[in-house]
Structure 1
Amino acid sequence: MQETAVRDVPPALGNPALARRLAGRRPAVFLDYDGVLSPIVARPEDAVMSESMRTVVHDLATRVPVCVVTGRDRGVAQQLMGVDDLAVAGSHGFDIWTPTRGSLSDAYVARYTDLVAEVTERLRDETRGIPGAHVESKRASVAVHYRLVDPADRDRIAATVRSVLDDYAGRLKLTPGKMVYELGPNVDWNKGKAVLYLIDVLGLDGDDVVPIYLGDDITDEYAFRALRDRGIGILVGDPDDPEVANRTTAAHYALASVDDVERFLATLT
Structure 2
Amino acid sequence: MGPAGTVRDLPSALHDRGRLATRLAGRRPAVFLDYDGVLTPIVDRPEDAVISDGMRETVRHLAARCPVCVVSGRDRTVVQRLMGIDDLVVAGSHGFDIWSPGEGVIAHDPAPGSAGLIAAVAERLWAETGSLDGVIVEPKRASVAVHYRLAAAEDRDRVVAVVRSLQARQPDEIKIMPGKMVYEIQPKVDWDKGRAVLYLLEVFNLGAEIFVPLYLGDDVTDEDAFRVLRGRGIGIIVGHPDDTEVAGRPTEAEFALASPEEVERFLTTLGY
Task: Output the TM-score relative to the length of structure 2.
Answer: 0.95
Give the Cα–Cα distance (whole angstroms) in 2 for the partners of residues 175 and 75 of structure 1: 21
Map 1:169-180 → 2, pairs under 5 A = 169-180=171-182
**For the residues of structure 1 that align with 2:100 and 2:71, how far apart are their CA atoms?**
12
Measure the CA separation in 2 of the matches of 1:149 and 1:123.
15
Q: Deviations over 1:61-107 (max 9, x none)?
A: 11110001111111111111111221111112222222222223465
Residue deviations 1:121-170 (CA, integer Å, cap 9, x gap): 22111111211100001011000000000012211011111222223231
CA separation in 2, counterparts of 1:89 and 1:109? 15
User: Could you tell me how far apart the structure 1 residues matched to 2:107 and 2:187 are?
Assistant: 14
Matching residue's letter, 1:47: A
Residues matched between the structures, number = 269
Query: Matches of 1:152 and 1:113 in 2, distance apart?
Result: 31
Which residues of 2 match residues 102-181 of structure 1 at below 5 A? 102-105=104-107, 107=109, 111-181=113-183
In the alignment, is the contact (CA less than 8 A) between 2:96 and 2:108 conserved in 1? no
Deviation (angstroms), 1:20: 2.3
- Report the Cα offset of residue 218 of structure 1: 1.1
Amino acid at match of 1:52: G
Distance 1:172 1:102 in 2: 29
User: Quick check: 1:31–1:68 contact (8 Å CA) kept in 2?
Assistant: yes
1:109 and 1:139 in contact (8 A); partners too: no
User: Percent same amino acid among aligned pairs?
Assistant: 61
Distance change in 2, residues 1:107/1:223 (3 Å): closer
Q: Which runs of 5+ in 2 are unaligned?
A: none
In the TM superposition, 1:1-269 aligns within 5 A as: 1-3=1-3, 4-15=5-16, 16-105=18-107, 107=109, 111-269=113-271
- Asked if structure 2 preserves the Cα contact closer than 8 Å seen for 1:11 and 1:254, the reply is yes
- Counterpart of 1:14, as a letter, is H
Larger CA deviation: 259-268 vs 16-25: 16-25
- Specify the SS of the correspondent of 1:210: strand
Q: Is 151-160 or 96-105 further displaced after alignment?
A: 96-105
- Quote the offset at 1:206 in angstroms: 3.4
Q: 1:156 and 1:95, CA in 2 relative to 1: closer, same or farther beyond 3 A?
A: same
CA contact (8 A) 1:95 1:109 kept: no
Residue 217 of structure 1 aligns to which amino acid in structure 2? D
Distance 1:116 1:199 in 2: 28
CA RMSD of aligned residues (A): 1.4
Amino acid at match of 2:102: T
Aligned-residue offset at 1:208: 1.8
Q: Secondary structure at the match of 1:189?
A: coil
Q: CA-to-partner distance for each residue in 1:162-181, whole Å, 9 max, x for gaps?
A: 22222323111111110001
The code of the aligned residue for 2:90 comes to V
Runs of 4 or more, structure 1, over 3 Å off, are 105-110
